[in-house]
C-alpha cells in the first residue's frame, strides 16, 4: 500500500528536478549567447541561432510536453 502511494511522489520529485535542471541549462545558454554577442566571433549569427533552437527545444520538450502528442497516438 505504502509503495503504491510513494511512487507518484518520487515521479513528481524527479519531475521538479528536471524542471530545475532545464531552468539552469536555459540560464547558462542565455549567458553563453550574451558572451558570444559581446565577443563577436566569426559565425556569430549561426552560433546564436543554434543555441536559441536548443533553448526552444528544451522548453518544448520538458515544459510544454510536446511528446505527449505522439505518445497518445501510439495508444
Partner 1 sequence: MTAVTHTADGVHETPEKRLGINQLGMWLFILSESMLFAGLLMVRFSLLGTEIHEEVSQVIGLLITVILLFSSYTAFSAERAAARGDLAGAKRNLLLTLGLGTVFTAGVAFEWYEALEAFPPSTTFGSVFFTMTGLHAFHVLTGLVMLAIVYRRVKRNQLSSSDTWPMEASVKYWHFVDVVWVFFYPALYLIS
Residues near partner 1 (CB under 8 A): 8, 12, 15-16, 19-20, 22-23, 26-27, 30, 33-34, 36-37, 40, 44-45, 48-49, 51-52, 55-56, 59-60, 62-64, 66, 68-69, 72
Nearer to partner 1, 3 or 48 (CB): 48
Closer to partner 1 at the Cβ: 2 or 68? 68
- Whether the CB-CB separation of 5 and 41 falls below 8 Å is answered with no
Beta carbon of residue 71, minimum distance to partner 1 (angstroms, whole number)? 11
Amino acid at each position: 500500500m505504502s509503495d503504491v502511494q510513494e511512487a507518484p511522489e518520487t515521479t513528481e520529485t524527479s519531475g521538479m528536478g528536471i524542471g530545475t535542471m532545464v531552468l539552469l541549462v536555459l540560464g547558462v545558454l542565455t549567458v553563453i549567447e550574451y558572451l558570444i554577442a559581446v565577443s563577436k566571433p566569426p559565425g556569430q549569427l549561426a552560433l546564436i541561432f543554434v543555441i536559441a533552437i536548443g533553448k526552444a527545444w528544451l522548453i518544448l520538450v520538458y515544459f510544454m510536453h510536446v511528446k505527449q502528442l505522439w505518445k497518445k497516438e501510439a495508444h
